[in-house]
């Protein structure tokens, strides 16, 4: 059976061009970029070139503003812990949103145990952060604000440029987790007005285990990893040369085709959303209809639970994801869906389908063919569903 992969927000397949670009650094070009002899200098050259290419795509003013990390989670941790500890004599208050990825959310929770105060700014029913709410949360102690560029579950894109205007006037550091947007929609650090920005290569058809943090010139950060002087003393450890080369290649390719690929995915996304809503009653779209990632579809089916849905889809050859508690091994459903104001039993019935550059209209139609039957089968099994009345039986 041909598999239909609709979980591109989780990870993407690596592009063949990216693998080609990486191979020399996994084979003959094995030098350590910190070594002064020829092999080391060759590796250094590759590293410098990758840094330069990434800086240009992001609109950074200097390649020195790019710090390579092991991925998005490390970039988020470095931005938040690194800035908080560097600025702890200036203040102890951090603002973030109620729908951040756990790499930001849990890092802020960790800092609370170390004397920092954290304010979670709520979102509206579309999952959008109100810039005025960020402004209202500011205190004289506020040292850092971290708001994601787009949400990984519901795809909502945040008004980052508007928020940054407010913060810039006051000289407050602003970080954005752009793991879901880099390579998919335009991301320019000056247009967004952010001081720090996280990205992860495997979200845009690059390799896993490599990411970067953009850090605007002049910002002090405490390193998380101590050791050698790599990455301007901000991230010790021999650089993942092949991974970094692959990330740069993937980013340049994604940026080049974004103008065609984003509208193509948007069209397929809307066809899938409209198809689901038209075919399956008691279903709601999560997130904003327009201010959302080109490839994100997130819906809640009432009266059923997400994991059961995913297992059935998998048996039909479709890979998808859910914010259900049962898929994450915790008791609570996704904090993102709850922050939208959804009741627990509805948040449990969420399904996320995320499209990618390989997704075709035929695949979308295949999903629309099998999904209604799966939902109906599970509803027939659900004590909350009364098929005749078509409403809640309890």
Partner 1 sequence: MYSEKVMDHFTNPRNVGEIPDADGVGVEGNPVCGDIMKLWIKVEDGRIVDARFKTFGCGAAIATSSMITEMVKGKTIEEALQITNTAVAEALDGLPPVKMHCSNLAADALRKAIDDYLAKQKGAESSNG
* Residues carrying an active site annotation: 326
Residue 348 in the binding site for partner 1 (CB under 8 A): yes
Applying CB under 8 A, among 213, 333, 336, 374 the residue interacting with partner 1 is: 333
Here the tokens at position 9 are: 């927000």
Q: Which is nearer to partner 1, 32 or 382 (CB)?
A: 382
Q: Out of 132, 277, 278, 315, name the contact with partner 1 by CB under 8 A.
A: 315
Among the listed ranges 168-176, 222-230, 368-376, 379-387, the one in contact with partner 1 (CB under 8 A) is: 379-387
69 within 8 A of 240, measured Cβ to Cβ: no
- End-to-end CA, the chain: 40
> Given the rule CB under 8 A, which of 238-246, 258-266, 287-295, 299-307 is the region that contacts partner 1?
299-307
Interface with partner 1 includes 311 (CB under 8 A)? yes
Nearest-approach distance from CB 332 to partner 1, in angstroms: 7
CB of 370 to partner 1, least distance (A): 15
Identified binder of partner 1 from the candidate list 135, 188, 307, 376, rule CB under 8 A: 307
Is 362 an interacting residue with respect to partner 1 (CB under 8 A)? Answer: no
Q: Which residues contact 134 (CB under 8 A, 6 or more apart)?
A: 95, 121, 145, 147, 163, 166, 167
Q: What's the CA gap between 272 and 264, in Å, rounded?
A: 13
Q: Is 102 in the site for partner 1 (CB under 8 A)?
A: no
Size of the site for partner 1 (CB under 8 A): 25
Contact between 136 and partner 1 (CB under 8 A)? Answer: no
Q: Are strands 117-121 and 93-97 parallel, antiparallel or unpaired?
A: parallel
CB 19 within 8 A of CB 246: yes
Distance (Å, rounded) from C-alpha 231 to C-alpha 233? 5
The residue from 304, 353, 371, 375 that contacts partner 1 (CB under 8 A) is 304
What is the spatial distance between Cα 346 and Cα 253, in angstroms, rounded to a whole number?
Answer: 39
Check residue 124 for interaction with partner 1 (CB under 8 A): no
Q: Measured at the alpha carbon of residue 156, what is the angle toward residues 208 and 108, in degrees to the nearest 5?
A: 65
Which residue matches tokens 């990486």? Answer: 22
Closer to partner 1 by Cβ: residue 132 or 393: 393
- Alpha carbons within 13 angstroms on the beta-carbon side of residue 236 total 8
State the nearest-atom distance from the C-beta of 19 to partner 1, in Å: 30
Tell me how far apart the alpha carbons of residues 356 and 27 are, in angstroms, rounded to a whole number: 30
351 is a site residue for partner 1 (CB under 8 A): no
Assess 387 for contact with partner 1 (CB under 8 A).
Answer: no
Of 55, 163, 210, 325, the residue at the interface with partner 1 (CB under 8 A) is 325
Q: Are 113 and 87 in contact (CB under 8 A)?
A: no
Shortest CB 126 distance to partner 1, Å:
23
Q: CA 27, 33, 38, 41 torsion: positive or negative?
A: positive
Please, which residue, 346 or 355, has the CB nearer to partner 1?
Answer: 346
> Which residue from 1, 36, 331, 362 is in contact with partner 1, where contact means CB under 8 A?
331
Contact 370, 316 (CB under 8 A): yes
283 interacts with partner 1 by CB under 8 A:
no
d(CA 313, CA 309): 6
Selected from 18, 308, 364, 375, the binder of partner 1 by CB under 8 A is 308
- CA nearest neighbour of 297 among 317, 279, 277, 311: 277
Interaction site with partner 1 (CB under 8 A): 303-308, 311, 315, 324-326, 329-333, 344-345, 348, 380-385
């Amino acid at each position: 059976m041909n598999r239909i992969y609709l979980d591109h927000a989780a990870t993407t397949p690596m592009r063949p061009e990216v693998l080609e670009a990486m191979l020399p650094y996994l084979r003959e070009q094995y030098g350590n970029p910190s070594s002064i002899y020829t092999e080391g200098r060759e590796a250094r050259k590759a590293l410098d070139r990758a840094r330069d290419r990434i800086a240009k795509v992001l609109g950074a003013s200097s390649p020195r503003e790019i710090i390579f990390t092991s991925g998005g989670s490390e970039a988020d941790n470095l931005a938040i812990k690194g800035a908080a500890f560097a600025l702890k004599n200036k203040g102890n208050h951090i603002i973030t949103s109620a729908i951040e990825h756990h790499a930001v959310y849990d890092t802020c929770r960790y800092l609370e145990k170390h004397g920092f105060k954290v304010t979670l700014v709520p979102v509206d029913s579309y999952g959008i952060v109100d810039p005025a709410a960020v402004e209202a949360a500011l205190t004289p102690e506020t040292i850092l604000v971290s708001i994601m560029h787009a949400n990984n579950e519901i795809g909502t894109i945040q008004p980052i440029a508007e928020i940054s205007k407010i913060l810039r006037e006051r000289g407050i550091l602003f970080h954005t987790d752009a793991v879901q947007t880099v390579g998919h929609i335009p991301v320019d650090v000056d247009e967004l007005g952010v001081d720090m920005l996280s990205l992860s290569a495997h979200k845009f058809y690059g390799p896993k285990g490599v990411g970067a943090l953009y850090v605007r010139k002049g910002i002090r950060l405490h390193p998380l990893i101590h050791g050698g002087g790599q990455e301007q003393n901000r991230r010790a450890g021999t650089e993942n040369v092949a991974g970094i080369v692959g990330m740069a290649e993937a980013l340049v390719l994604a940026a080049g085709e974004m103008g065609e690929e984003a509208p193509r995915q948007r069209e397929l996304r809307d066809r899938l959303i409209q198809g689901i809503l038209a075919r399956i009653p008691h279903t709601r779209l999560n997130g904003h209809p327009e201010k959302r990632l080109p490839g994100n579809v997130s819906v809640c089916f009432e009266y059923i639970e997400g994991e059961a849905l995913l297992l059935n889809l998998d048996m039909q050859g479709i890979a998808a994801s859910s914010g259900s508690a049962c898929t994450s091994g915790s008791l609570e459903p996704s904090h993102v869906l709850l922050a939208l104001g959804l009741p627990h039993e509805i948040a449990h019935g969420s399904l996320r389908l995320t499209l990618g550059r390989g997704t075709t209209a035929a695949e979308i139609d295949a999903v629309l063919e099998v999904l209604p039957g799966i939902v109906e089968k599970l509803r027939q099994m659900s004590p909350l569903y009364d098929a005749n009345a078509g409403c809640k039986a309890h």
